[in-house]
Structure formats: C-alpha cells, structure tokens
Amino acid sequence: MDLSYGPKYEAFREEVRAFLEGEKHNAPSASIGLSEGSGQVRDWQKKLVEHGYASRTVPRDYGGFGAAPDLLENIIIDEEFRRAGASRGMANQGISMFVPTLLQYGSEEQKRRYIGPTIRGEMIWCQGYSEPGSGSDLASLKTSAVLDGDEFVINGQKIWTSTAREAQMMFALVRTEPDAPKHEGISYLLVDMKSPGITIRPLVMMTGQAGFNEVFFDNVRVPREILIGRRGQGWEVGKATLIHERNMLGAADLTESTYLGCVDVLREFGVLDHGVYRDRLMKLAARTQAMKYHSMRMLTDRLKKRPPNAAALIMKLNGCQLNHDIAKLAIDAMEEVGTLKRGSRHARADGAWQIGYMFQLGLIIGGGTAQIQKNIISEIGLGMPREPKAGTGTLSRR
C-alpha cells in the first residue's frame, strides 16, 4: 500500500494549515460538543462551509462549497484540524445523516429549502426512528401517517430521540400503507417540531444528561410535500440514512485521537510503565491500529469504487466498543479522580472521560445493536445462514 500523498495533496495540506494558522483565534476547541449549536460553534461552522472545510462536496446551489469528491482531501483536512486541535464544526444528525440522504432522494425544492440552513447550523434535526417495541426490528414500527387532503396526520410515539428538544425539524419513518408488507408500508416524512400535537419528554441518562427523549404525536398534521422519496419507499430511504449514521459512529481518526488522549492520562497519573496498565494499553493500541488500517482498506475500496458491504458495519461495531474500552482504561488510571463527575474542579477534561465511557455504552446499542451488527456481518460478510427465529426452530430468508 502506498501511503504517500504526492505533491498535489501536500500543496493542499499547506493550504489547510494556512487557513488554520490565520483563523486559530476563532476556532473552538475540538473538545467542544459538536452537536451543540452555540454561537461560537455556529459562527465557526459557517466559516468552514464558506472555505470548504465542512460540507465540502455539497453543491453550491444548495449552499455548499461545491468541490468534487476527493477522499484524500477529506483525510488531509481531518489530519490537519486534529493536529491543530481545532473543531471540525458541527457533526449533528442533520449534517451527517439527513443532508446526504436528501441529496440522494429529495426533490429539487426540498434540497434548496433544507440543505443550506442545515449545513450552516441554523436548522437542527432529530431522527424519528425507534419506537417502544420497534428498535432492532425497526420495520415493525407502528406510528401511522394517514393522508387527509393535502396533509398527513401522524399518531404514535418515538423513543430514544436525540436532541428532540433542541431540534426544529425531525426526519421520521412512519407507516402510511398499513395493508402492505411491513417493509413496503413505510414512508419517510419531515416534521416541524413546533407542530401542534407534539409532546416531548426527556429521558435522563446515567451520564446525568437528558440527551434522549420520548416524542408523542397526537393528530399532528404535516403537509404532504414533505414526503422524501415515494410513499412506501421509506424503508429504502431510511436505510440510506442509517448507513451514514454508522459511518459517523465508527470514525477511525476520532478513535485514534481518543487513544492518544488515554496515553496522556496514563502518563499524567504515572502508570504508563505499570505492567498491568501497559498490557491493557498495548491491546487497545493493537485494536486501534487494526481499525485504522481497516479504515484505510475501506478508503482504497472507495477510491476504486468498490462497495464496502460488511466492512462498514465492522467499523461501527468495533469503533463503539473500542471507544468504550479506551475510556474505561483512562478512568481506571485516574483511580479516585476517575469517579468524579463533570463540574468537579478536580475532574480531568471536565469529566469528558466519564461521560464518554457511559455514552459509548449506549452507542454500542444505538444505530443497530452490536448483536444485530454481528448477525448482518455473518450473513452478508461470511455467507452464514440467518439466525433462527425464536420459537420456530426454522431459518428465515431475506
């Protein structure tokens, strides 16, 4: 594998470094929550979009920079921002998941209306997928949308909805064709979160934060033109969004950065040369490197326009568990300091390790549980038969 970038890309690297040098006084720290729409983060986000360091390939007609897709440029941007400790801007569900889906399935009017405000951080989105009883088996969802004139009328409930209280809009999967097979009866709708009939209840996590919510729909009316794709095509559209979510949850560069932060913690607390901690650290180093090289293999596939198939699922599966294990080692190395919560003046990194440890545990379940990921990898990656359905003793086929 040739790991060199060549003169063209090294010149681009210098361009990125010059930008960061000139704007470093405006750059939020990389440790700032990227999904939080604070004024500083939004201002930084707009600057990044303007210069092509965020939403780089989104067409100019929709508010983006309009650059041609170039994976190596994207990697160089990531490397240089990480080296400078500068935020890469907002990385919420709207920017990372909804915009790519809308570019693929949205109408021209929908793209012009929603993409610009979203990538500039002016419009925050939440995802309305999971329901009580419809998590891993998402296709069994029951929230309904009935067409009444020019409006859909939505009734039902969503759960585990991140940022529902901050979001202006939701992209949601709802059942519009009750008599169709379950995968063919779902549509992908957009919902204004200020619509009458919506009730939001926060769910406090073990981190002490209320990042998740329950969302209830009681005769919520939305215009029919906010349907993305065709009626009954929602499962296909929704799967496209999930692929972007899993890519977001398995970023190898972020995991490597987290690992290096853990090394700093072990050094600070004087246990870097302790046999037990060093053994754990080396095992994590091996897994981090394996993930990094797996990511580079995927990059090669993408450059050669080969589909990632099960490889992308491996990134999500491994990334969430690995980030959780790295945070666990950092907390153990801190000993009694590791038990402190955010807000304590003695907590390191304002409690980010403790929150990361608990939050990553949730991500092992979210976006498709680890068990679901393993099943799919075994089926499409290894060609193994599907898991028998409970109580039938028989194998089912897709």
**Residues involved in catalysis:** 245
Under DSSP, the state recorded for 379 is I
Q: Give exposure, 181-195, as e/b (b: 16+ Cβ within 10 Å).
A: ebeebbbbbbbbbee
Distance CA 295, CA 256 (A): 12
3-state class (DSSP) for residue 223: strand
| Cα 287 off chain centre by | 21
Q: Which helix (H) or strand (E) holds 341?
A: none
Q: Which helix (H) or strand (E) holds 313?
A: helix 310-334
CB count within 10 Å of CB 22 equals 9
Distance CA 361, CA 343 (A): 21
Distance CA 13, CA 397 (A): 49
The β-bridge partners of 188 are 173, 228
In contact, 101 and 244? CB cutoff 8 Å? yes
Tell me the residue type at 144.
S
Residues 6+ apart with CB under 8 A from 44: 26, 27, 28, 87, 89
The alpha carbon torsion through 288, 34, 327, 211 (nearest 10 deg) reads -130
Distance CA 326, CA 249 (A): 15
**CA neighbours closer than 13 Å in the CB half-sphere of residue 250:** 29
Distance CA 3, CA 26 (A): 32
